[in-house]
Amino acid sequence: MFIKNCWYVAAWDIEVPQEGMLARTLLNEPVLLYRDTQGQAVALENRCCHRSAPLHLGRKEGDCVRCMYHGLKFDPSGACVEIPGQDKIPPKTCIKSYPVVERHRLVWIWMGEPGKANPNDIVDYHWHDSPQWRMKPGYIHYQANYKLIVDNLLDFTHLAWVHPTTLGTESAAGLKPVIDRNTDGNGMLTISRWYINDEMPNLHKKVAKFEGKVDRWQIYQWSPPALLRMDAGSAPTGTGAPEGARVAEALQFRHTSIQTPETERTSHYWFCQARNFELDNAQMTEAIYQSVIEAFEEDRTMIEAQQKIIDQVPERVMIPIAADSGLNQARWLIDRMLKVEAGQDVP
């Protein structure tokens, strides 16, 4: 079961071409994405209402899409505007059209009740297109349920074991985060970890202009069902980072990790690692991107293997430990949204 009445990411802006169309399954629903003649993104049900032919095998005609099985043509609202050889179009000859908003280089889609779609509820990711930040957008397809990815992102202790040569240091296994849960609206978790007088992770060492011990931070803001924003960085020890100071040589990053369920066992994953230094260094942009890919592949190997075991023995419960505090609270917020949508009482 998926939450429907919320904004999900359907694509990066560059994934939806001006010419051609993009077929993507979201929340078990076949969705067609394309751009109209004004360049605006459109999202329709990727299924002709006549004989269920996929519309991505059709063609664009102006702002419309024509099914290439029997020629029915649909406009951006999902209404059928032409049936070859038939003058009258029955009122039920239509397909779903989904509310779409493009913001900060992301194409957001509302899969639930259209009347409840409020663009003001979209989470801010301004560093994607801000002139003060630089990043390269990324996408990964996972053979795993999206909640397993959320679990991984909110579990910091795994950094020491899954990422010993990329993101992790030995201190990651024992440092306890500070977790603040806000239950207003859909809710949000703020998870903070400070490593004082610690080693830099290898990803930071590759781009740092200084050496030695650092005070470094990881401050997550996670919103259900699967939207992560992170402020992370390293500064020379003793230069005031924990008090809010950011010296010129400090490394500052803004990280994005967003998941949208494809099916119960597969997920879409959009990410980027933005920085506010050496903005014109294209080689550094690519190096950071490749380093993140390397670390995320370490995660994917573990999570997809985890999904296979769960599928083999679904009746076996998972035993919680203290490190699960963040991910357990995230699961609680997701379950609360599901209950609200189902009309159940929520304390």
Q: What's this model's pTM, rounded to 2 decimal places?
A: 0.93
Residue 157 lies inside a defined structural domain of this protein: yes
Share of the chain above pLDDT 70, in %: 94
Among 88, 120, 152, residue at a domain's last position:
120
Read off the pLDDT of each residue in 193-207 and give the average, rounded to a whole number.
Answer: 86
pLDDT 10s digits, 113-145: 999 999 999 999 999 999 999 999 999 999 999
**Domain shared by 74 and 165, yes or no:** no
Domain ranges, residue 20: 7-120
Read off the pLDDT of each residue in 55-79 and give the average, rounded to a whole number.
Answer: 98
Q: Over 80: is that where the pLDDT of 347 sits?
A: no
- What is the CATH classification number for the domain harbouring 151? 3.90.380.10
pLDDT at 74 (0 to 100): 98
- Kindly report the backbone phi and psi dihedral angles of residue 223, in degrees, each rounded to the nearest multiple of 5, phi listed first: -120, 140
Q: What is the DSSP string of 133-145?
A: -B---EEEEESS-
Alpha-carbon span 327 to 152, nearest angstrom: 8
Residue 17 lies inside a defined structural domain of this protein: yes
pLDDT at 262 (0 to 100): 98
**Domain shared by 158 and 96, yes or no:** no
Share of the chain above pLDDT 90, in %: 78
**Domain shared by 116 and 136, yes or no:** no
pLDDT at 176 (0 to 100): 79
pLDDT at 330 (0 to 100): 96
Are the C-beta atoms of 217 and 230 separated by less than 8 Å?
no
pLDDT category, 52, cuts 50, 70, 90?
very high
Q: Which residue has the higher pLDDT, 274 or 343?
A: 274
Are the C-beta atoms of 104 and 6 separated by less than 8 Å?
no
**Domain shared by 222 and 275, yes or no:** yes
pLDDT at 199 (0 to 100): 87
pLDDT 10s digits, 279-321: 999 999 999 999 889 888 888 999 999 999 999 999 998 888 8
Residue 150 lies inside a defined structural domain of this protein: yes
Are the C-beta atoms of 253 and 278 separated by less than 8 Å?
no
